[in-house]
């Protein structure tokens, strides 16, 4: 080594002090030898060159797919790339960890006065926590031991089911596992899961102890398919618990009305006419719940009336629902949880709102300005009928309007009057087909007489025989 130092010293003397100074000034600091950032060797590179080399490495690495597994889940999530898990390279922070050497430091090392021990530094990453939101939702939905909180009225008692088995992703531990996998050949890691907070804490559910309000509607038991739909939809809602400030939507909870979901064909209103479709009867469920919520003094965030009056509630008190269109929305405006309890009996449906009863509070529903009128009759000539024969094609329905208010009393004092809006029912014409001829001519004609029909908006509306996957 002494000989090497001597030779280097002679070389520098030969160059002269001025030349050495010029070399030192032109020297660009570079990273010392034997330095790696993760798997990337950055020895002898400038910071810019090292950052570029890291970015090139990351272009391939970020596409690496990693699977997450956990035996507590019904199924495992779909594998994602590192980018899909919200991981991205922070090339600047990665390179800023590394020390560079100037001309004199480099010279000292070259002549053996300094050493360059091997050094491996970790790659620095950025994390986008929002990318893990869907993973958290997946874990919640696929938790084997999940059990939602419920409160139901059964045989004269309020029965409660406490929330159980709530889980969440341990994001801190997941980050560490993913980073370890990113810097190795591993393509599968165990998804770290921890006990998650309860949406409905046990102590809050214990506050549900009173019947705040109830409402009952009736229906004919002979309409078997319609009864089945009412029972199915009300059963889906039975036990729902809403925390303070939480909003509930009928369509989101009950879901699309399809045969696959168990709903049947039953009588409906479509464009002001009687028809059949999947889910007939659903609107009686939404209407019964709507009235119970009114009497419990809950906030109504969405409600629509039908195109024709229904027979099971007074005018202005119905709530039509149509998946993807008309909805019923209820918000818990109380300081405690409330629950919806449904009791189905043959020919009778009752909804009870469970929670904490306000002492001496009383609610009345008042209707003003009620009007009804006929939409008239339309006669269709049908030569396929026997001569002189008349057949009712659609019985139609009356039109009407009414404004409805909810009046809240504390004792005998009125404390609030809520305008629930004007309900306008377009109604439907009675349609009659007849053959006016004295003898049949065999063909079917299509002429009309009587007043021209008023155009009906498109969509499905429900009346006495109620709806399908549309208003029901």
* Domain ranges across the chain: 2-62+92-126, 207-461
What pLDDT score was predicted for residue 7?
45
pLDDT at residue 381 in the model: 86
Q: How many CB atoms lie within 10 A of CB 203?
A: 8
According to the model, what pLDDT value does residue 270 have? Answer: 63
pLDDT tens digit sequence for 350-405: 999 999 999 999 999 999 999 988 888 888 888 888 988 888 878 878 899 999 99
Dihedrals phi, psi of 145, to nearest 5 degrees? -105, 20
Per DSSP, helices labelled H in 159-240 are: 171-182, 202-205, 224-237
- The pLDDT value recorded for residue 252 is 95
**Strand 377-381 with 430-434, pairing:** parallel
The tens digit of pLDDT for each residue in 200-255 reads 999 999 999 999 999 999 999 999 999 999 999 999 999 999 999 999 999 999 99
pLDDT for 50: 93
- Residue 154 neighbours by CB under 8 Å, 6+ apart: none
- Return d(Cα 240, Cα 360) in angstroms, integer: 26
Q: pTM of this prediction?
A: 0.66
For the chain, give percent helix, strand, coil, nearest 5: 25, 35, 40
Task: Report DSSP state, residue 101.
Answer: E
Give the chain's end-to-end CA distance (angstroms, integer).
95
Query: How many C-beta neighbours within 10 Å does residue 69 have?
Result: 12
> Which residues of the chain register pLDDT less than 50?
1-8, 10-13, 15, 23-25, 104, 111, 113, 440-472
The pLDDT value recorded for residue 273 is: 59
Tell me the DSSP string of 83-107. GGGTEEE-HHHHHHTS-EE-HHHHH
Among the listed residues 86, 186, 183, the one whose alpha carbon sits nearest the alpha carbon of residue 136 = 86
184: Cβ–Cβ under 8 A, 6 or more apart, which residues?
none
């Amino acid at each position: 080594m002494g000989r090497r130092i001597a030779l280097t010293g002679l070389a520098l003397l030969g160059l002269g002090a001025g030349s050495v100074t010029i070399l030192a000034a032109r020297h660009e600091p570079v990273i010392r030898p034997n330095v790696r950032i993760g798997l990337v060797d950055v020895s002898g590179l400038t910071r810019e060159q090292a950052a570029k080399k890291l970015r090139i490495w990351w272009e391939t690495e970020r596409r690496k797919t990693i699977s997450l597994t956990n035996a507590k889940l019904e199924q495992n999530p779909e594998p994602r790339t590192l980018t899909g898990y919200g991981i991205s390279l922070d090339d600047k922070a990665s390179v800023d960890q590394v020390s560079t050497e100037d001309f004199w430091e480099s010279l000292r090392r070259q002549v053996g006065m300094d050493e360059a021990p091997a050094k491996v530094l970790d790659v620095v990453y950025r994390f986008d926590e929002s990318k893990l939101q869907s993973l958290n939702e997946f874990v919640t939905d696929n938790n084997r031991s999940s059990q939602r909180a419920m409160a139901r009225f059964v045989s004269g008692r309020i029965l409660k089911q406490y929330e159980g088995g709530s889980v969440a992703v341990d994001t801190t531990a997941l980050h560490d596992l993913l980073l370890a996998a990113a810097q190795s050949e591993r393509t599968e890691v165990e998804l770290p899961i921890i006990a998650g907070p309860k949406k409905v804490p046990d102590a809050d559910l214990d506050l549900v102890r009173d019947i705040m309000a109830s409402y009952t509607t009736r229906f004919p038991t002979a309409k078997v398919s319609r009864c089945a739909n009412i029972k199915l939809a009300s059963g889906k809602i039975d036990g729902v618990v809403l925390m303070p400030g939480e909003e509930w939507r009928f369509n989101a909870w009950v879901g699309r009305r399809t045969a696959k979901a168990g709903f049947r064909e039953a009588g409906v209103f479509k464009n002001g006419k009687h028809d059949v479709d999947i889910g007939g009867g659903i609107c009686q469920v939404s209407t019964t719940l709507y009235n119970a919520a009114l009497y419990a003094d809950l906030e109504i965030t969405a409600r629509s009336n039908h195109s024709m009056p229904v027979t099971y509630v007074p005018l202005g008190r119905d709530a039509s629902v149509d998946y993807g269109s008309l909805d019923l929305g209820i918000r818990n405006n109380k300081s405690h949880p409330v629950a919806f309890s449904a009791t189905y009996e043959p020919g009778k449906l009752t909804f009870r709102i469970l929670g904490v009863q306000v002492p001496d509070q009383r609610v009345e529903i008042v209707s003003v300005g009620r009007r009804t009128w006929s939409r008239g009759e339309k006669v269709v000539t049908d030569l396929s009928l026997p001569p002189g024969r008349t057949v009712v094609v659609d019985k139609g329905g009356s039109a009407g309007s009414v404004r409805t208010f909810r009046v809240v009393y504390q004792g005998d004092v009125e404390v609030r009057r809520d305008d629930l809006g004007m309900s306008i029912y377009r109604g439907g014409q009675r349609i009659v087909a007849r053959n006016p001829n004295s003898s049949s001519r065999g063909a079917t004609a299509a002429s009309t007489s009587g007043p021209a029909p008023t155009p009906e908006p498109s969509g499905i509306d429900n009346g006495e025989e109620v709806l399908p996957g549309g208003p029901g």
